[in-house]
Amino acid sequence: MSILINEFTRLIVQGITGRDGSFHTQKMKEYGTNVVGGTSPGKGGTEVLGVPVFNTVYEAVEETQADTSIIFVPARFAADAIMEAAEAGIKLIICISEGMPTLDVIKAYRFVQMKGAMLIGPNCPGLMSPGKSLAGILPGQIFRKGNVGVISRSGTLTYEVVYHLTAAGMGQSTAVGMGGDPVVGLYFRELLEMLQNDPETEAIVMIGEIGGNAEEQAAEYVKQHVTKPVVGFIAGQAAPPGKQMGHAGAIISGGSGNAADKIAAMEAAGIKVAKEPSEIPKLIV
């Protein structure tokens, strides 16, 4: 098994005719993802890389029975794209778009929840179930099918950790890049629960970073509900207070969100915390 996506996932690409949409559609198709359609208003009836293009998500779902969408549209259109997908019956929405205003994300995420759908992102690399499906911008060649689940706030750190896991002979069940904005969809707690319940996943790697208290809450959840080995890493350990480090959500403020507190909370929950990403494979037992 895996979580969220597998070989049966039917994916549509919102913004498929754009530069990023078409480029990553090709990469996903080359990996073997079942890309059944795409959307681009006014370009319905055309094709991109052999994939039919529709004017709306509703039309795409009606014709292709798609259950998952991935969004490559400019930030100012992303909230509408998310809500359009949820309204059309898409159950998993992955928003790659970067720079969405936080209030737009809040509005769109609330709508997604009302429709009983799930959102990953925005400003995220998407997710991968190796050997089954790629829905995102992750580099497929570094992944290997296996039993380690990976969840991360950082896209590039996801790639680095997966590279070290694969090099150590440890494949992955599913890797999810959640995104680093202040507000995103599925987060540590929900994904930890999914990986705990996934029989294919035998160990979990949790990659966090400074800012907010999500890692502390995740550590408490691990302590109470997760029986599988969990290894963690916190990025931004050298960041000074008040200094934003890359992600909009990665900022220490009000005396909270620093790396030391996150590491302490994780260790108190029985999570082994790596000092460097390269140490992670050695800590998985």
What gap in Å lies between CA 126 and CA 155, rounded to an integer? 9
Options 24, 164, 225, 247, the catalytic residue: 247
If one counts every other C-beta atom within 10 angstroms of the C-beta of residue 250, the result is: 23
Q: Is 24 marked active-site?
A: no
Tokens at 282, concatenated: 């050695």
Give pairs for 250-257: CB < 8 Å, separation 24+: 250/153, 250/180, 250/209, 250/210, 250/211, 251/210, 251/211, 252/210, 252/211, 253/211, 256/212, 256/213, 257/210, 257/211, 257/212, 257/213
Query: Which residues are CB-neighbours of 29 under 8 A, at least 6 positions away?
Result: 35, 49, 51
Catalytic site residues? 247
